Amino acid sequence: MSNQRWREGRSCYRPSGETINTRAYEVAPLNSDNEPKRFIEQHHYSNSYPAARWRFGLYHQSVMVGVAVFSHPCNDRVLTNVFRCPAPRAVELGRFVLLDEVPGNGESFFLGRCFDFLRREDLVGVVSFSDPLPRRTLEGELVHRGHVGTIYQAFNGFYLGRGTPRTIRLLPDGSLLNERAIQKIRQGERGCSYASELLQRFGATPLRSDPAAWLREWLPRLTRTIRHPGNHKYAWALDKSTRKYLTSLPYPKHQPLFTTNA
């Protein structure tokens, strides 16, 4: 097995047998979104940033080489159905990005330090998802190989199964245009400008009026539909009392996926 890394929006892998020199690395909480957002938008293929509650940086010789962002999901039940607690007492690991220079077991060290911080905030659990679907640009270049959560398995995550299969839309660079972004445009909600700019990057005209008509014109021209088999879901209990609610299914193994347009 190997561990996924990122740089400039492209994934690569480090051997899992490598050992990180923990004395050479520092984990620090971050008080604003500025630095981690820049890092993620520069290096992660999704080019998107979640609704952060806690943010942490991994540093090597004072240089940021990794970011972990713990966020709140769109639906509280993502957390409450797992931990049986009020939603604010749990979080989702919304982004977890390490550069290609970080040794193979750097994830476990980084996650462990982050979880120590979260326990001091009186949180009881963390969920995370791994995306097994490969992503390619319109020209066919592979930008995300897809993964089953190998690093979460190595960190003793409880495997909770697969999410619901669905049809997704990919932009020309292989990144996802999610349904929430499309809804913001259609309804004129907060954040619709940022969402519409995702399409404008690839040639859409500025959104002036009639969002529904604008979407009907540009969605089929600039996005591809692909059937997604559902993400893998993992969870960790941050205290002993919460662990009783978790039962792990057998870990999935990596298998190449062959996808066609929906």
CATH number of the domain encompassing residue 87: 3.40.630.30
Question: 150 and 185 in one domain?
Answer: no
Count of structural domains within the chain: 2
Which amino acid belongs to residue 228? Answer: H
Question: 135 and 11 in one domain?
Answer: yes
What is the structure's pLDDT at 261? 33
In a domain, 250, yes or no: no
Identify which has the larger pLDDT, 179 or 100. 179
Question: 148 and 65 in one domain?
Answer: yes
Percent of the chain with pLDDT over 70: 89
Question: 160 and 174 in one domain?
Answer: no
Rounded distance between C-alpha atoms, residue 15 and residue 6, angstroms:
14
Question: 198 and 108 in one domain?
Answer: no
Tell me what the mean pLDDT of segment 101-123 comes to.
91
Question: 158 and 133 in one domain?
Answer: yes
Question: 186 and 77 in one domain?
Answer: no
In a domain, 216, yes or no: yes
Question: 235 and 211 in one domain?
Answer: no
Percent of the chain with pLDDT over 90: 58
Read off the pLDDT of residues 66-85 as tens digits, 9 standing for 90 and up: 999 999 998 999 999 999 99
How deeply is 62 buried, as exposed, middle or buried, from its count of CB atoms within 10 A (0-12, 13-18, 19+)?
exposed
H or E stretch including 178? none
In a domain, 253, yes or no: no
Indicate if the pLDDT at residue 257 is higher than 50.
no
Between 42-56, 84-98, 128-142, 225-239, the lowest mean confidence (pLDDT) is in: 42-56
H or E stretch including 108? helix 106-120
In a domain, 101, yes or no: yes
Domain span holding position 54: 2-164+230-243
What is the structure's pLDDT at 103? 81
Rounded distance between C-alpha atoms, residue 79 and residue 91, angstroms:
7
Tell me what the mean pLDDT of segment 21-49 comes to.
88
Tell me what the mean pLDDT of segment 92-121 comes to.
91
Identify which has the larger pLDDT, 73 or 10. 73
